[in-house]
Structure 1
């Protein structure tokens, strides 16, 4: 068998698989939509603040001058930034790092300082050296 025969055989197999997949897809029945109780109802998600914020969004730049939009944005900020909106359990406080004293701030950096290690000293070119 030569290369042409393998190419033809591969093409025939590919076409047969494509026709079979198409036939299976066409004979498949459509699934019934989810039950109405599974969908959220429009009346359950009515939020007047959300509706006002959407209206202000459509106003664009004019929303910054609209007093109703300014009040809606303030109420929205209060919703997320109010003390009641914060979780009761707080993260543990991070340990305080020791503050540097005046004498330690004036000393030279340690030898294990990565910034100092990576920075090469500036050297002036020698008189006969080309730049």
Structure 2
């Protein structure tokens, strides 16, 4: 047997082994993970104000409390104040 034939047989065997391992892995059922534990968090006061503003819809665009709540939320997330707000 020549070295060239031996390398070809080894490569073919490796390819067959890889296909076999992939097929066996595909048949294995996915692991069942436990659902994440539900944590109940109390909404912060600013979140309650934003929820109220969302509930009143378009009227929130003229509501001073909503404008202040949105500005506070923007400042909290972005760390910058909006000019005129």
Q: Normalising to structure 1: TM-score of the pair?
A: 0.34
Larger RCO: Structure 1 or Structure 2 (Cα < 8 Å, ≥ 6 residues apart)?
2
Q: Which structure features the higher share of helix residues?
A: 2
If you compute each CA radius of gyration, which structure gives the higher value, 1 or 2? 1
Q: Normalising to structure 2: TM-score of the pair?
A: 0.46
